[in-house]
A and B are shown apart, each in its own frame.
Chain A
C-alpha cells in the first residue's frame, strides 16, 4: 500500500541539488526480495549540509550507496527516483554514472585505510581522481594534488604527496580521502561516518574541516552518522531514519530543541550528556525489527511510549501543521500522525 510523502513547503522556492523521491532499496535473497528501505524522500539544496542519522540497520548507509549507485547491481534493486539537478540517476548507464561519480558527487567512508590503495602514493591516487575526469598531464595532476593536500590542512604537502597510506595516521588518511573527494570540486559530498574510527580530538579537526570546506566552496554535504552531537555542530538539517524509513526531517536546531517524532526524542534522551550525573539514563526499550518482520503500521510502534489506536496504520511523512513561532513554518516533516499533538522532550527541555 502506498504511503503518502508530502514535500516541504520550501520545495517550491529552493532549487534542489539532489532530491530523493520515494526511494526504496531491496536485496535479492534466497528467501525472496527483502526491502531494507522504503519511501525515502528528502532534498538537499545547493551548499546545504544534511545530517542523515539513525542507528545501525536503519538504512542510512544503504541510502548513501544507492545515491552513488554503488550497490551491487545483481543483488540490489532501487525503486523511486534519485534526481540530481533534475536528472534521475537510477536509470543512468554504468558509463554515465562513472562520469558523474567523483566529478559531481563524491563519497568518503568510515575507514580511510581500506579506501586507499596501499601500493600507490597518496599523491598518485589523488591525481588519478583528477585525471579520470580531466585531460591533464601528470605534472599538472601532481600540482593539483599538492594543492588539494594543502587545502585539507596537510603540512608540507609536496613532500607528503609521495607518502604511502601506511605512513600516515588515521586522521591524516581521512584528510587524504577528503582531498581526493573534493579535487574535482563536486557539488555534493556524501560522508558516511567519516569520523567514527577517529579519536574525539581528531574528530573535531575533521568535522571542522568538512564544515569549512563546504562553506568555502559551496559543496553540499550529506553527513551520515549516528552521532547527534556531530550533526548539531556540522549540519543545517537533520533527517532521521528508523527501520528503513525517514521519520523526521527538520532544521537541526529546531529538531534538537523540540523533536516531533517519538524516536528522535528517544534518541536525544538516551544521550548521557543530557542527563544529570548519576541519574538513570533514558533509553528506548526493545529493538529494531528485522527487515522481514516489519510491523504493518507505524514501524516504531512496538518501542513507542505514545502508541494508541490509529498507530497500527501505515504512517505518512507529513509536513507539520502547527509550528512554534520561532520555527520557520512548513520546514518540518514527521512520520507520525500524532506529531501535532505530542509534546516531546528534546535536548534542551527534559
Chain B
C-alpha cells in the first residue's frame, strides 16, 4: 500500500527578518502517512510542526526534499494539475475565527471552496454545502448567520464543513481544538472521529497537547527543532517511550488526579528549546538532555527501528527504552513507588 502522503528528506528554510540568517524550520524529515490512519505530530513551539503540516498540503514549497501525494511530487506538476490534486489534501487551522471571512454568511463560506474548485452548478454547490453543514451537526438555520453569531466550537464546525465539501482524502488538523474551551473540545474531537469512520478520512493531527494527540492518534511522531526524534504506535510510544525527550514530555504533563494517584516521577528538563536559526550540532536535543555525552554533539543520531514500527533518533536508546537512568533518578523512582 503506498502512503497517502510522504515526506522525503524534507527541508524548509526561511530567511530571518533581517535576511542575514536562515531558520531551519524543518530540517530533514522522513515520514509516511498511510490511508485511513490518524498520524499525530507532537512538538513544542518552534519545533516546526506547523510548517511541516503546511508543507504536507503544499501551502509551502520544500526548500529541499520532496512531499509526495500518493506517489506524485506536487512541486513537479503543472499549476492546473496542482489545483485539481490539492483538493484531496485539506487543512483546518487553530483559530476558527481567523479562518472565516466575517463578511460572508456561513453558507457562502462553505460554498466558497467549491466555487474556487469550479465544480458543479450553483444549485449543486449549495446543496453540497448544506449537506456538509448538517454533517458537522449545524442546523439549517445557521447557514444564513454570520461568524460573529456563532460560538468558537460552532465556527470550528463550519471550518470542518468547508473542507468536507471538497471530499478530501487527507485533512491536516493544526491545533484544531487548542482555541476551544475544554468542555467542548471532546465534542469536536468526537466529530473528527465520526467523520473518519464514515468517510474513511486520513488525518495528520498536529498539536502540542499530549493528552489530545494520544487519545486520537494511531501513530505519533515527536518533533523537536525541525527533526523527528521518535515515531511509533500510540500505545507503544506513550507507555514505553524510547527517546529521553519523549519521556520528559510525557512526565511533564500535569495530571488531574489526586496526589495519592500521581505516581510518575517528573523529569524536569533544563532550559528551553534553542533557536532554529542556530540549532545544536549532532543531536538537536542534547543541550537539554540529561544523558548527553560527547558523541551527541559530534554526530547526528541515526534513525533506528528499535522495536517493531517504533523508530528513534538517539545514540544511546535501546529496545528497553531511553538511555540508562542515573542512580539519582532510580532512587527518586523508588521513593515515589514506596509512597504510593
Contacts and interface: CB of A to CB of B under 8 A. Distances in A.
A267 B258 contact: no
A207 to B, nearest CB: 7
Given A204-B252, A256-B257, A275 B269 contact: no
Contacts of A329: none
Contacts of B186: 270, 272, 275, 280-283
A231 B273 CA distance: 25
Contacts of B210: 200
Interface string A230-272: 1111000000000000000000111011000000001110111
Given A280-B193, A281-B190, A204 B266 contact: yes
User: How many interface residues does chain A have, given as a range?
Assistant: 35 or more
A142 B72 CA distance: 63
Interface stretch (A67-75, A94-102, A221-229): A221-229
Contacts of B252: 200-201, 203-204
Nearest to B187: A283
A332 B266 CA distance: 30
B211 interface: yes
Interface residues of B, number: 42
Interface of B: 44-45, 151, 153, 181-187, 189-190, 193, 208, 210-212, 214-216, 234-235, 248-249, 252-262, 266, 268-269, 271-273
A274 interface: yes
B268 A199 contact: no
A226 B254 contact: no
Contacts of B256: 228-229, 231-232, 256, 268, 271, 273-274, 347
A175 B252 CA distance: 18
A217 interface: no
A270 to B, nearest CB: 5
A92 interface: no
Contacts of A281: 185-187, 189-190, 215
7 contacts: A199-B44, A203-B252, A232-B255, A272-B185, A277-B215, A278-B193, A281-B215
Nearest to A172: B272
Contacts of B248: 201
A194 to B, nearest CB: 13
A88 interface: no
Q: Which 4 A-B pairs have the closest CB atoms?
A: A229-B254, A281-B186, A283-B186, A253-B258
